Every structure is written in structure tokens, then in C-alpha cells.
Amino acid sequence: MAKHVLILGGNGALGKAVVDSFARHKWNTLSLDLTANERASRSFLLRPGANWVEQAGLLETELRGALQQQKLAAIVNVAGGWAGGNAADPDFLANCDLMWRQSVQSSVIAAQLAARHGAPGSLLVLSGAASARQPTPFMLAYGMAKAAVHQLTASLAGPESGLPPNATVVALLPSTLDTPGNRAGMPQADTSSWTPLPFVADLVHTWAEGKERPQSGSLVSLVTQSGATRIEVSRS
Amino acid sequence: MAKHVLILGGNGALGKAVVDSFARHKWNTLSLDLTANERASRSFLLRPGANWVEQAGLLETELRGALQQQKLAAIVNVAGGWAGGNAADPDFLANCDLMWRQSVQSSVIAAQLAARHGAPGSLLVLSGAASARQPTPFMLAYGMAKAAVHQLTASLAGPESGLPPNATVVALLPSTLDTPGNRAGMPQADTSSWTPLPFVADLVHTWAEGKERPQSGSLVSLVTQSGATRIEVSRS
């Protein structure tokens, strides 16, 4: 029987790559995003008007219907965003809100679903940031949200965190992903240090299959140089 | 002329001690809290119905009126709260919201006010937690919020963070404070490892006077053993 994966942010650039990688290996792919991913087995849509607690409840109801008592073998959160600005920025408070919603709330919902619907030994992947392992004075809101995700990752790996038995939680810490958006936004950049999306997607799929999994709680940095990518595993 | 200090959470247990310490040294003490601190020079009241961006705007208007073009020599955020629970807790999402509002939003507002109204060389004190330097599986929401505050502290100490020239930002990392609430909640506990509030308040006041300030960006753990308290200074 096909294994089930839920991808939060499943119709973004990285989310599409993740859906494709799992689909190629005959997984049942469940996408959550503002828009449908037509290549996913099924798409759940975010409702922009709902608050996140309502949103999480609605999603869980739809998910229960889709799973029919089965469990998720993998939950992958690649939702997120970026905002710059320091404490003197007029948008500082608004950016803190936005980063919290995009990175932290999505990670918290992923963790809750992993606790409730993850199979024993399932995989939970969250999205951190390599930059947030250092001070981030020029992007305060982003750094705070990603630091919170790193702490969540470390904490979920601890005893009695609520995750299923033998679950693995890992945070991906990309530097710059090679997405259409980044190519459009930084047309002059040297892309040889950007991480290709299929590398990330296949890495996540490999872990989901139970192969080469890092220790639970790991922060996995993706380091691309001259077009070649390696991973560096650390702890928060 | 009296120097000005703003204390966020100025009518809580620690906030009262901070107000008293500064008042004893003839500072102009401005308290922000849900209720007035009658011993403060002036109290600004939080409006429970307002969202935090509105709240920050209202506070700033009142603060401008009180300061009359003068600057704050110290901004101290001792607002906060605590919530336990793991990813399987029914209140997980609600607790994440609450911890974010109490610890992170108050710290962000403090940072914004420091950027806009802090004097050169002023002091900004935020409230972290010693426990959140490690994984916090049994209090996920609290750990995430405090990790975000630690990141904010480190980031605000960096170049171009928006703080005034030569400002110092420090996070206090208490373990257990000797408050009436903690005594009521843990009546059987050994209080000899609890940190007395006047120690904390006088420490903050000393830094505000420009004495014995830790390096900007420091996380200052308060370690009390057998009734004696020492500080341990580290970086995030």
C-alpha cells in the first residue's frame, strides 16, 4: 500500500519538487498550500481568512477523511518566507508577525499533525535557516522565527515531546535555494552556490524511506559550492 | 535632571522590584502593564482589546507626551509568562500564541522603542530563560518564544541593528525567581535556589547607570545556590 506524505507549502517552488520526488516513488502525496498542486495526489487549500487555530482544525478534518485511519509516514513543512529589516524599520512589527505566521505557525501545525497522525518511526521535516545560527541584525524578524524553529526541532527530538515512537525530526537549513523566485530577484547572482531543489527533495524522500536519516533533532545545513551540494549535520 | 526608564511589565512581581530600585535612585520611572503601578512616576496601561501593532502605536504616543523630546536611558522588559505542554497537548497552538504575545511581542515593542526613543549609550534589557538554552520538549511553546528572544538579543547587538549608538542589549536568563506567585504555586519547593527579586532589580539598575555592563548581546544567567546569587555571562 502507498505510504502517505503531507507537504505543507506543497505548491511552492521547493514544495513542488518534494511532491514530484515522492510521487516518482509512488507515495500518496497530500499538499497543503494557498493553491492546489495539480501533480499531488490531493491538495488541501489554506483559507486566507481563517485564524491559524481554525485553519489547523479544518485541515485536520480534511486530513482524517483522506487518511481513513491510516497514518502519515512523513510530514514535510517547506512553507516559509523572508523579510529583512532592523529595529528601526517601520515594518518591524508587521514583519515579526508575518515571519511568525509563515515559519513558526506552519511548523507548529506540522508538529501537531505529526503528534496526532504520524506513524511510529515517521519523519518530520521543518525549515530552518543557516543564517539564523548567527546574529541576524539586518533581518531581525526572520532570525527570530527561524531560531524558534531550531528550538522546536531540538525540543521535539527530546523525550516526551509528543511525537510518535521512534519518530525523527530534522530541520533543513538552506542558504540560498535555486528557485525561480530567487533567480528573478537576484538576476546577477552567482548561482553556483545555490542549492538545486531536486537535491533537497530527494534528500527528504531518502530520509522518509528510512535511509540515511540524521539523528533526530539535527539541523541539516545544505552547502553548495561550484554546483556541488553536501550536507552538514549539527545540533542547535 | 532625572533619567528616564521604561519598564514593560512594570506592575508584575519583578517589574515592581525594578520600579522600586530605579525610584530609590531618583529615576523617572515609566511603567507599562495591564494595571497601574502606583509607585511608578507614571503608568501607561495596556489595552487588552487592541492588537499589538495598535498597542505599540498608542504606547508610543503616550510615551512621546511623557518624554517631551527627551530620551530613555533604559528600557526594561520583564513582561512574560510560562506554559508547559508538548506537541500532543490540546492547548499546544494556543500556548504558542500566548507565549509569542507575552515574551516575543513585548520584546519586539521594547526593541522598537529603544530604536526610536533610546538615548545614545542606553540600556535595553529583555527576558530570556536559562531552560531554553537546552531542548524544552515538555514546554515547547515557552522554549520557542524564549529562543526567539535570545536570537533577538544577539541580533540587536550586531552592527546596523537599529539601536542607538553605543547602546547595550542584554537578556536576563532567570531559572526560578522568588516571586509570590511561585511561592504560592510551589509551596513545598526549596526556595534557596530561587533568585530574589531585589538582586535582579539592583543588577539592572547598576547596568543602567553604566556600571559593570556585560558586553552587548550577552545572555546573563542568574544562578542562585544556598541563597547566594551569581551571574554567568554567555552568548547565544
Q: Which residues of B fall within a CB distance of 8 Å from A94? A: 53
Contact B97, B48 (CB under 8 A): no
Separation in Å, CA B26 to CA A223, B40, B145, B209 = 55, 11, 34, 12
Question: Which residue from B97, B137, B158 is facing A161, i.e. has the nearest CB?
Answer: B137
Query: A27-64: b or e for each residue (b if 16 or more CB lie within 10 Å)?
Result: bbbbbbbeeebeebbbbbebeeeeebeebbeebbeebe
State the pLDDT at residue B235: 86
Residue A76 belongs to what H/E stretch?
strand A72-77
State the pLDDT at residue A48: 80
Greatest extent of chain B over all pairs of C-alpha atoms, in Å: 55
State the pLDDT at residue A235: 86
DSSP lists the bridge partners of residue A8 as: A32, A77
Question: Is B121 one of the catalytic residues?
Answer: no
Name the minimum distance, in Å, from the CA of A118 to any CA of chain B. Answer: 11
Smallest CA–CA distance from A158 into chain B, residue: B137
Listed as ranges, residues in chain A with pLDDT below 50 are none
Side chain identity, residue A7:
I
Q: What is the value of pTM for the model shown?
A: 0.97
Exactly one of B22, B27, B44, B142 is catalytic; name it.
Answer: B142
Contact A143, A128 (CB under 8 A): no
DSSP lists the bridge partners of residue B5 as: B29, B74
3-state secondary structure of B134: coil
Report chain A's mean pLDDT, rounded to a whole number. 96
Listed as ranges, residues in chain B with pLDDT below 50 are none
Helices B106-117, A92-99: axis angle to 10 degrees equals 160
Contact B199, B13 (CB under 8 A): no
Side chain identity, residue A196:
P
What distance in Å separates the CA atoms of residue B48 and residue B222, rounded to the nearest whole number? 31
State the pLDDT at residue B50: 87
Query: What is the predicted ipTM?
Result: 0.96
> Which residue reads 553605543 in cell numbers?
B166
